[in-house]
Structure 1
Amino acid sequence: MHILLFLLGLIAAFGIWSWRIRMAREGAREAFKLAQGAANLPRKMAFRYKASQNGLSLIQDPREAAAILLMEIARARGGTLTERQSETIEREIVHHFQFTPAEAEELAAHAAWVTNTAPSPAETVRRLSNLIVSSPVLGPKEVIDLDAMLVAVSEAEGTPTRDQLALLQMYRDKAGLKT
């Protein structure tokens, strides 16, 4: 009988300790998520501030300008963004900007919001092309890479339309690229 009680006690002790270890592991996981959120907080706050403002004049980051150009090229096809265009934009952002897929999705969502309230696509491309070309942190390679990104987005749904080609040409003229 005392052996049975001893085994029952061991099983209960093992169950209690495994439960406590599982709870500690879940607590550590939650703490990690909170720390990760705190690390992204400055970027999120800057995004929220910019989102509450309006206008292209607030854009200073060339990556943000490039994402908006990608969105304008995609929307020049018919006004609405397709799933394939969206995937292409996010894939290009991840590849060229070294963003995580979540960051690329957030930047694409921000670019979509900006293009909803931006002036005409031609004016937007003109202003943002100037910002990109005059940026001191971008060199000729990045300007050419952006042209390739714009072409990839324009070809996401097949052959580019005249409107898309006109916007591409406008960027190339501002960037000094020959076709």
Structure 2
Amino acid sequence: MHILAIVVGIIAAAGVWYWRVKAAKEVVDDVGSVVGRVQGRIRMNNFKKKAEGSALASIEDPALAAAVFLHALANEKRDALYLAEPRIREELSRIVADTDLDEVVSYAQWAARDVADARDVVRRFKPLWRRKLTREERADLIVMAETVAELGEGDDHNQKLTLVTLRTALGPEQNR
């Protein structure tokens, strides 16, 4: 009888230790899972930042940059978007070759679709425009932007701020 009690005690102790080890393994697995999810989110956020910026980061043509900016500016006033498309195409036809116009407009529409704020586009392309455009071309870009911003009913506060940002970015080169 004593032997049976000892065997049952050993089996019970082994069961308790097995349960403790299993519970510890589950805790370690849960911690590993949380760490994996956090790492995955970090990687996904980094990828999203690269993907969002890549459409604008690859642009080195000031005319294409202007096209993206004009579309982003037009996107800020949704009610005037249908009016802006032909006007933007008309403005761009003065600075882009006819053979490239459709491609430039299509890419600009696509790239501007994910732009949250047109002022970000101004900040992104300010060095490009200042480096590659003459003072007169910069003034023309400001006029194009004002033309697009005037479309539709009413004034949009974001568009006004964007135009101020553009004028400041492309204005005289003093203190720069």
Q: Once superposed, which parts of structure 1, at least 4 consecutive aligned residues long, lie more than 4 Å away?
A: none
CA distance in 2, matches of 1:83, 1:119: 19
Count how many residue pairs are aligned between Structure 1 and Structure 2: 120
Q: TM-score w.r.t. structure 1 length?
A: 0.60
CA distance in 2, matches of 1:86, 1:160: 18
In the alignment, structure 2 segments of 5+ residues that lack a partner are 1-52
Give the direction of change, closer, same or farther, for the CA distance of 1:98–1:117 in structure 2 (3 Å limit): closer
- What is the aligned partner in structure 2 of residue 168 from structure 1? 163
CA distance in 1, matches of 2:72, 2:135: 22
1:55, 1:118 within 8 Å by CA — same for their partners in 2? no
1:81 CA displacement: 6.5
Give the direction of change, closer, same or farther, for the CA distance of 1:174–1:117 in structure 2 (3 Å limit): same
Identical columns (%): 24
CA distance in 2, matches of 1:159, 1:169: 17
1:117 counterpart (114, 117, 120): 114
Structure (1/2) with the larger helix percentage:
2
1:55, 1:117 within 8 Å by CA — same for their partners in 2? no
Q: Which has the larger radius of gyration?
A: 2
In the alignment, structure 1 segments of 5+ residues that lack a partner are 1-52
Letter in 2 for 1:90: R
- What is the aligned partner in structure 2 of residue 18 from structure 1? none
Secondary structure of 1:55's match?
Answer: helix
Q: TM-score w.r.t. structure 2 length?
A: 0.61
2:63, 2:96 within 8 Å by CA — same for their partners in 1? no
1:132 counterpart (129, 132, 149): 129
Letter in 1 for 2:106: A
Deviates more, 1:112-121 or 1:83-92: 112-121
CA RMSD of aligned residues (A): 2.2
2:138, 2:170 within 8 Å by CA — same for their partners in 1? yes
Secondary structure of 1:54's match?
Answer: helix
1:64 CA displacement: 0.5
CA distance in 1, matches of 2:163, 2:114: 21
- What is the aligned partner in structure 1 of residue 69 from structure 2? 69
Secondary structure of 2:54's match?
Answer: coil
